Amino acid sequence: MTPERAHLVAGFGRISWIEASALLFDTTGHAALAATEAGIVEHMNADHADALEAYATGLLGLGDGTWRMTGIDPEGCDLRRDRQVARLGFEAPVDGPGAARNTLAALAKAARQSDAPGAA
């Protein structure tokens, strides 16, 4: 199935059509990331819970707690804490596990700096 457009109902008076070009990401060249997504998610949840919390609190301004990664794609990663979900977008698309690792490490560093006492 290839969508041509989607109908977004975001609340009273907030209804619009979204064309496929604005809705879909061209995944050509990103097969390596898709193939390793489950492993990346598992690794982040098992070994980098502190980074996930830093993303949520330091970069997204969300409450602290046990945040878990639920997915990663070329444009960003998805986080979840209980029923709350969040999306952390990447500045540039990542094309594979190495680029994802570098991006996630840089985001963790930035998040920890923004969480530091006296950080603006």
DSSP of 46-101, one letter per residue?
HH-HHHHHHIIIIIT-PPPS--EEEEEETTEEEEEETTEEEEEE-SS---SHHHHH
Summarised one tens digit per residue, pLDDT across range 31-43 is 999 999 999 999 9
pLDDT at 119 over 60: no
pLDDT score for 8: 83
pLDDT at 115: 62
> What is the model's pLDDT at position 10?
78
- The pLDDT tens digits for 56-115 are 999 999 999 999 999 999 999 999 999 999 999 999 999 999 999 999 999 999 999 976
Q: How many helices (H) and strands (E) does the chain have?
A: 4, 5
Domain range annotation of the chain: 28-115
pLDDT grade for 120, boundaries at 50, 70 and 90: very low
For the segment 8-33, the average pLDDT, to the nearest whole number, is 83
pLDDT of residue 116: 55
CATH (residue range 28-115): 3.20.180.10
Q: Is 70 left (phi over 0), alpha (psi -120 to 50) or beta?
A: alpha
The whole-angstrom separation of Cα 7 and Cα 14 is 11
| pTM of the shown model | 0.79
